[in-house]
Amino acid sequence: QVQLVESGGGLVQAGGSLRLSCAASGGTFSSNGMAWFRQAPGKEREFVAAINWSGSRTYFADSVKGRFTISRDNVKNTLYLQMNILKPEDTAVYYCAGHWGGVVRITTGGMDFWGKGTQVTVSS
């Protein structure tokens, strides 16, 4: 039913920036809490950032706080992750996810739908 499609990943040098997008369809995007997760090779999937239904509340993992910004456009049904001052340790597949409730949620188990991911590679 709900489909999430990430885009905007790629190769960037350390210190650079990327903006990821997540296009949502088949649901009621404006009512969903949304989040970004990432998974590096050999690592567990980890929380990155979350946003409530309206965009008025956000939450970030300590590892990205001050560098990343999560936002949404409920008219375009699109979620964004602006990534600045990128570090090699940010290299991972980044996943867009959401849940039926509208609140900020930060656990993988709390997500009801997922995108397929987009690769972000940060070189030194």
- 108 is written with which tokens? 């993988």
Q: How far apart are alpha carbons 16 and 7 in whole angstroms?
A: 17
Look at the block and give the residue holding tokens 């910004």. Answer: 69
Q: Would you write out the chain's pLDDT as a tens digit for each of its 124 residues?
A: 899 999 999 999 999 999 999 999 999 999 999 999 999 999 999 999 999 999 999 999 999 999 999 999 999 999 999 999 999 999 999 999 999 999 999 999 999 999 999 999 999 9
* Residue type for position 114: W
**What is the β-pairing status of strands 68-73 and 78-83?**
antiparallel
Look at the block and give the residue holding tokens 């949502």. Answer: 24
